[in-house]
Amino acid sequence: MASLNRKIGIGTLWNFLELFLSKSATTLFTIFLATLLAPKDFGLIAIIAVVFELSGVLVNAGFTQALIRSKTVSDRELSTAFWGNLGIAAVVYLVVFLLSGQIAAFFGEPILKLMVQVLGVGILVNSFRIVQTAILSRRMDFRSQMVAATAGTIISGLIAITMAYHGFGVWSLVAQMLISQIVATGVLWFSTRWVPMWAFDRVAFRYLFDFGKFLVIANVLNVAFKNSYALVIAKLFSPELTGLYYFATKLSNLAAQQLTGALQKSSFPALSTLQDDNTQLRHKYRQIIQLTMFVMAPIMFMFMALAGPVFELLFDERWNDAVVFTQLLCVAGLLYPVHSLNINVLMVKGYTNKLISCINSVWSAWNCDWSGYRFHYCATAQQLLYSQAHSLWF
């Protein structure tokens, strides 16, 4: 048990450093870009970010978690996962490419067509990093993952700021997203030194698919609902208002997900070793929850209280309406650790089918009044209710 505590502690430290460095760098770059770009530019990115977040869930197919959870993994199984992810990515990219025109027409923004087609390359790039991430996580090597994420964030951020300064507008944000993925993937490949075999095991693929299928459905529902407000705001109102909401989400996620993400990534491979010992698993889960909430609550309340002065200090009047969004999303962030760690435990036990129960929470959260000029605040408040119910559901 002492060894497990040490692994979780070291893993959490490296994950926290990864999130702190990459997220802090991302926040600084976002602040700089906000002074150079308009809210509409962020709104356009928010629209297509939903498409690629959903694509990422489909391409991953739950294979990362399945590989981490497995007690033993052979090169043949890793190769099967790699080629399976690559094949899924090719199909998903083709579908996204063909639908790019319809996406642009639906939101009335012609520039979205080319943006979707260019950023779609990231779908293929990300498929090359899924097995590498699983290998490093199984080794509890979060240091290499930290280096990859930080390198991608810093290099892409510097390029984005340079492009924005020279008048490239929204394309600076497109370049930031794509270059970050390319750099991080390259570093992960260098870190693992693993090369796939020319082999595909149908039995292994079936095992990976059986574990991941419910996880994929749950994640698709979660991503679709989490981003639904941005899409509806973009459709019913404007990309400018969508940009304000998206910008507030990025800032509130910095505080809500930094520590939780570190604990979630490091605790999953460690807790997987306790999957057959419910008593120890329950004890360790409670320890992690208590520690996380003890640290998270004061941070979120402080961030919520300081949102107004911070926006006034750092941004011009174009971004004032994002303050209310940020404060409301901070309340939702309070229960994010419970939600994330509950999902971790379900995956450790192999109960991925249980995640589908979130569908009731997803659709019940849509019972709000979609009309009126104050819709965007109503929708955000509704998201808080969803977050609370979903976090405590399990």
DSSP structure string for 2-54 = HHHHHHHHHHHHHHHHHHHHHHHHHHHHHHHHHHHS-HHHHHHHHHHHHHHHH
CA distance 149 to 217: 26
Whether pLDDT at 311 is above 80: yes
In tens, the pLDDT along 260-277 reads 666 666 666 667 777 777
Mean predicted lDDT score pLDDT of the chain:
78
CA distance 125 to 119: 10
246, 45 Cβ separation under 8 angstroms:
yes
Which residue range is the domain that position 65 belongs to? 2-393
For residue 246, what are its two tokens? Answer: 């998206």
Better-scored residue on pLDDT, 29 or 212: 29
Can you state the percent helix, strand and coil of the chain, rounding each to 5? 85, 0, 15
The domain total for the chain is 1
Better-scored residue on pLDDT, 197 or 363: 197
Provide the pLDDT confidence category of residue 369 given band limits of 50, 70 and 90: very low
Provide the pLDDT confidence category of residue 308 given band limits of 50, 70 and 90: confident
Q: Which phi and psi (to 5°) does residue 316 adopt?
A: -85, -175
Judged on CB neighbours under 10 Å (0-12, 13-18, 19+), 309 is exposed
pLDDT, residue 23, reads: 67
What single DSSP character describes residue 91?
H
Whether pLDDT at 366 is above 60: no
CA distance 54 to 63: 15
97, 120 Cβ separation under 8 angstroms:
yes
Average pLDDT over residues 2-14: 54
Signed CA dihedral, 354, 355, 359, 362: sign only: positive
| The model's pTM | 0.75
Nearest-10 crossing angle of helices 170-192, 111-119: 10
pLDDT, residue 83, reads: 92
pLDDT, residue 168, reads: 92
CA distance 110 to 266: 42
What single DSSP character describes residue 73?
-
Whether pLDDT at 291 is above 50: yes
Average pLDDT over residues 105-109: 90
Write out the DSSP string of 237-292: T-HHHHHHHHHHHHHHHHHHHHHHHHHHHHHHHHHGGGTT-HHHHHHHHHHHHHHH
358, 216 Cβ separation under 8 angstroms:
no
In tens, the pLDDT along 35-66 reads 888 888 988 998 888 888 888 888 877 777 78
Residue environment code for 226-253, b if the CB has 16+ CB neighbours within 10 A, otherwise e: bbbbbbbbbeeeebbbbbbbbbbbbbbb
On the CB side of 185, CA atoms within 13 Å amount to 17
Average pLDDT over residues 79-102: 91
Whether pLDDT at 128 is above 70: yes
Q: What percent of the chain has pLDDT over 90?
A: 16
196, 209 Cβ separation under 8 angstroms:
no
